């Protein structure tokens, strides 16, 4: 795509045609400036096939706001829209509607509240609420879902990989397997969700992180092709990077050639007063090779040398490698814990594509419309199954912490409810009328509102959080989960409940709509 095309394809026309068709209809019927509220939420956690997530980690909001700050209808955008034809050959979008779009100043009329990036979130909870003129709120849908769905998906996968990796560093390597420039969003989300560093140079630069990476198989191949050896390649590397010497040892033969050559070079480095960093294993039986590499490094006097593992890793593969190391290390007289403590995980394709579930089904649903007089009319969307019904009205989300400071449930209430002031909380299951529980306020350590203002009057509210702040939220929120919810496979289901008031509103609207439709 050429640069001038990028301005069109990545600006405010980064949307679906039906948003504009609907916007024109609202305009024609005088509804475009009516205040509406849409909720953004997802219905279920990612299910990776053999295993499912027990929670998600939000991400993408700040980049969405960056986009909103600059997105507006330019003359060029308007010209493209004006050129669209209806089937009768006429202009699809009329000039008065286009003049309205041109005058909107993008999304200046909207007010967004959201659960900040890096927080643990659950199905059915509004992650973002959008309030404002109906036409603007409608046009925003596509870009909002695009940004928040993908980054949340990847932050979630990264959080799982982070969790299984315990204290070991996790490196993100997925740039070659992401979707075009969208891979940068994947890198960012991975860093929020749990990756410590990335190989992505550009993204590291803008985030102020040190990008990670040493050499690929190509380096050894170049030396071999020119009649030199793997050892020559390693020596060349050590010469240029004496204090950052991490060698990829599987180009020729990991145990027979790569590791022995690396150890020679490490000894030479040590003799010159440098500390080698370690080795990387990128193929073969990584658990077995990690044990052997660890033994060889120890024996050669490099007990602090790192072992980086890569090659289609994800949370289950890492877990399996760890399990195998624990089981097999003793057979070789090795200490499994010591091996584990020197491991670093390099994760590429399976993180940036969220292997097993390549999309988060986040949706954007109308929950209320303001009437002429200013009163809100709640909206609900019928569905085949009770679980797919939307929750109507203007809402707030509260996280309830028990005395251990563990998150015990998220409570979705109407916006003006104040559950923190109530003595006894009644929690209703979102769709099953028979399930409810009562919580005594005194038994809760804390009740925290999750949605905060993030966008108003055409600009973000408050300052941009740093990467470290987002990571800190994620660490705190993951730590506050019960271990059953964090379980990699078959996790315990975290409770998301409705307040009694919201539940009653939902039932009223349902009865009304079903009565009307005879369903």
What is the C-alpha to C-alpha distance for residues 466 and 285, in angstroms, rounded to an integer?
39
Q: Interface with its own copies by CB under 8 A: which range of 24-32, 115-123, 403-411, 434-442?
A: 24-32
Nearer to its own copies, 42 or 55 (CB): 42
Interface positions, 321-380, toward its own copies (CB under 8 A):
349, 352-355, 358-359, 361, 365-366, 368-369, 371, 377-379
Q: According to the binding rule CB under 8 A, does residue 13 interact with its own copies?
A: yes
CB of 312 to its own copies, least distance (A): 9
Q: How far is the CB of 122 from its own copies (least distance, A)?
A: 20
Q: Restricting to residues 267-296, which ones interact with its own copies according to CB under 8 A?
A: 275, 277, 283-284
Residue keyed to tokens 């030479």: 268
Residues 338 and 294: beta-carbon distance below 8 Å: yes
Q: Binding to its own copies by residue 231, rule CB under 8 A? A: no
> Which residues in the 170-229 window bind its own copies by CB under 8 A?
173, 175-186, 188, 199-206, 210-219, 221-222, 224-227, 229
3 binds its own copies (CB under 8 A): yes
Considering only residues 490 through 519, tell me which ones interact with its own copies, judged by CB under 8 A: 513, 516-519
| Comparison of 364 and 494: residue with beta carbon closer to its own copies | 364
Task: Give dist(CA 130, CA 134) in Å, integer.
Answer: 10
Closest CB to its own copies among residues 250, 477: 250
Within positions 58 to 87, which residues make up the interface with its own copies, using CB under 8 A? 63, 66, 70, 77, 80-81, 84-87
44 binds its own copies (CB under 8 A): no
Q: Which is nearer to its own copies, 257 or 341 (CB)?
A: 257
**Separation between Cα atoms, residue 353 and residue 153, nearest integer Å:** 9
Residue 239 engages its own copies in binding (rule: CB under 8 A):
yes
**Span of 143-151, 296-304, 403-411, 424-432 interacting with its own copies by CB under 8 A:** 143-151
> Residue count at the site for its own copies (CB under 8 A)?
131
Could you tell me the CA-to-CA distances from 127 to 39, 194, 305, 460, 505 in Å, in that order?
A: 7, 20, 43, 16, 20
Only one of the segments 117-125, 253-261, 396-404, 416-424 lies at the binding site for its own copies (rule: CB under 8 A); that segment is 253-261
Place of tokens 């070079």: 265
How many Cβ atoms from other residues are within 10 Å of residue 510's Cβ? Answer: 16
Contact between 201 and 187 (Cβ < 8 Å): no
The residue (of 297 and 480) whose beta carbon lies closer to its own copies is: 297
Exposed, middle or buried by CB within 10 Å (0-12, 13-18, 19+), for 405?
exposed
Residue 236 C-beta: closest distance to its own copies, Å: 6
Given 146, 294, 306, 499, the residue binding its own copies (CB under 8 A): 146
106 forms part of the interface with its own copies (CB under 8 A): no
Give the count of beta carbons closer than 10 Å to the beta carbon of residue 260.
17
Nearest to 454 by CA among 110, 175, 126, 17: 110
Q: Tell whether residue 384 is a contact of its own copies (CB under 8 A).
A: yes
Handedness of CA 205, 210, 212, 213 (dihedral sign): positive
Nearer to its own copies, 260 or 449 (CB): 260
Strand stretches in 108-174, DSSP E? 111-114, 120-121, 128-133, 170-172
270, 276 Cβ separation under 8 angstroms: yes
* Residue 443 touching its own copies (CB under 8 A): no
CA dist 425 and 500 (Å) reads 9
Contact 170, 364 (CB under 8 A): no
For its own copies, the binding residues in 400-429 under the rule CB under 8 A are: none
Smallest gap from Cβ 221 to its own copies, in A, equals 4
User: How many Å from the N-terminal Cα to the C-terminal Cα in the chain?
Assistant: 49
Say whether residue 463 binds its own copies (CB under 8 A): no
59 neighbors 155 (Cβ within 8 angstroms): yes
Member of 33, 92, 288, 444 binding its own copies (CB under 8 A): 92
């Amino acid at each position: 795509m050429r640069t001038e095309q990028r301005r069109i394809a990545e600006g405010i026309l980064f949307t679906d045609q039906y948003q504009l068709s609907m916007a024109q209809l609202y305009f024609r019927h005088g509804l475009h400036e009516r205040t509406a509220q849409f909720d953004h939420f997802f219905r279920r956690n990612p299910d990776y096939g053999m295993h499912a997530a027990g929670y998600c980690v939000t991400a993408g909001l700040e980049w969405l706001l960056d986009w909103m700050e600059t997105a507006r209808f330019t003359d060029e955008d308007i010209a493209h829209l004006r050129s669209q034809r209806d089937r009768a050959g006429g202009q699809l979008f009329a000039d008065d509607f286009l003049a309205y779009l041109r005058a909107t100043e993008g999304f200046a009329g909207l007010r967004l509240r959201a659960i900040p990036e890096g927080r643990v979130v659950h199905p059915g909870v509004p992650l973002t609420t959008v309030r404002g003129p109906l036409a603007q709120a409608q046009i925003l849908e596509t870009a909002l879902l695009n940004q928040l769905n993908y980054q949340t998906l990847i932050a979630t996968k990264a959080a799982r990989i982070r969790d299984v990796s315990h204290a070991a560093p996790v490196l993100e390597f997925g740039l070659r397997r992401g979707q075009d420039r969208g891979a940068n969003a994947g890198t960012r989300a991975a860093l929020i969700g749990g990756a410590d560093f990335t190989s992505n140079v550009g993204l590291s630069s803008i985030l102020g992180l040190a990008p990670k990476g040493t050499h690929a198989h190509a380096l050894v191949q170049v030396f071999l092709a020119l009649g030199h050896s793997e050892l020559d390649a390693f020596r060349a590397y050590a010469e240029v990077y004496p204090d950052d010497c991490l060698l990829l040892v599987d180009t020729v033969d990991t145990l027979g050639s790569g590791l022995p050559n690396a150890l020679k070079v490490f000894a030479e480095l040590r003799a010159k007063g440098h500390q080698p960093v370690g080795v990387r294993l990128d193929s073969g039986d990584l658990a077995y090779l990690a044990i052997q590499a660890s033994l060889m490094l120890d024996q050669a006097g490099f007990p602090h040398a790192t072992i980086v593992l890569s090659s289609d890793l994800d949370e289950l593969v890492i877990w399996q490698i760890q399990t195998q190391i624990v089981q097999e290390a003793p057979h070789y007289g090795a200490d499994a814990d010591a091996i584990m403590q020197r491991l670093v995980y390099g994760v590429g394709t399976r993180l940036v594509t969220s292997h097993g579930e390549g999309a988060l089904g986040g949706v954007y649903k109308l929950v209320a419309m303001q009437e002429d007089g200013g009163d809100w009319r709640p909206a609900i969307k019928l569905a085949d199954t009770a679980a797919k019904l939307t929750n109507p009205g203007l809402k707030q989300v509260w996280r309830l912490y028990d005395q251990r400071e563990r998150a015990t449930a998220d409570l979705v209430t109407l916006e003006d409810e104040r559950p923190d002031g109530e003595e006894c909380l009644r929690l209703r299951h979102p769709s099953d009328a028979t399930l409810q529980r009562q919580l005594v306020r005194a038994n809760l350590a804390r009740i925290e509102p999750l949605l905060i203002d993030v966008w108003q009057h055409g600009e973000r509210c408050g300052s941009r959080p740093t990467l470290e702040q987002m990571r800190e939220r994620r660490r705190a929120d993951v730590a506050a989960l019960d271990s059953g919810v964090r379980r990699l496979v078959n996790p315990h289901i975290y409770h998301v409940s409705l307040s009694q008031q919201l539940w009653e509103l939902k039932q009223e609207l349902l009865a009304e709509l079903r009565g009307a439709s005879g369903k």
